Amino acid sequence: DAMVIQNPRYQVTQFGKPVTLSCSQTLNHNVMYWYQQKSSQAPKLLFHYYDKDFNNEADTPDNFQSRRPNTSFCFLDIRSPGLGDAAMYLCATSSGGANVLTFGAGSRLTVL
């Protein structure tokens, strides 16, 4: 009954080698978010989609890109991962009406 599913749960990559993380949802929520969280720090919003409308945070590095091909799926592309990009990446969804933010289990990225 998982509602927000992230894959892979663990990803190891080499410095500079592109990575794609995926998120799917069965909630039919309009809004999907990508957050970066480093060791017990606050989740930091990278960007969010309202339907197909993309909203990038001003301080999100250009190294991070996102795609949302349909309502159910959203991808996070890290074009050239650096050591500082090692983190947990959390996908979340919400609907405009209910407002509740529902998180996936996260994808932990290790950069060697």
Partner 1 sequence: GENVEQHPSTLSVQEGDSAVIKCTYSDSASNYFPWYKQELGKRPQLIIDIRSNVGEKKDQRIAVTLNKTAKHFSLHITETQPEDSAVYFCAARAGTYKYIFGTGTRLKVLA
Residues that bind partner 1 (CB under 8 A): 31, 33, 40-45, 48, 50, 55, 58, 90, 94, 96, 99-106
**What gap in Å lies between CA 39 and CA 1, rounded to an integer?**
28
- The sign of the dihedral angle between the CA atoms of 45, 32, 77, 63 is negative
Tell me the DSSP string of 1-37. --SEEEE-SEEEE-TT--EEEEEEESS--SEEEEEEE
Quick one: 100 or 112, whose CB is closer to partner 1? 100
CB of 81 to partner 1, least distance (A): 21
Minimum CB–partner distance for residue 82 and partner 1 (Å)? 23
Cβ closer to partner 1: 8 or 82?
Answer: 8
- Between 28 and 99, name the residue whose CB sits nearer to partner 1: 99
84 φ/ψ angles, rounded to the nearest 5 degrees: -75, -10
The least distance separating partner 1 from the CB of residue 66, rounded to whole angstroms, comes to 15
CB of 18 to partner 1, least distance (A): 25
* Dihedral pair phi/psi, residue 106, rounded to 5°: 95, 155
| Nearer Cβ to partner 1 (14/39) | 39
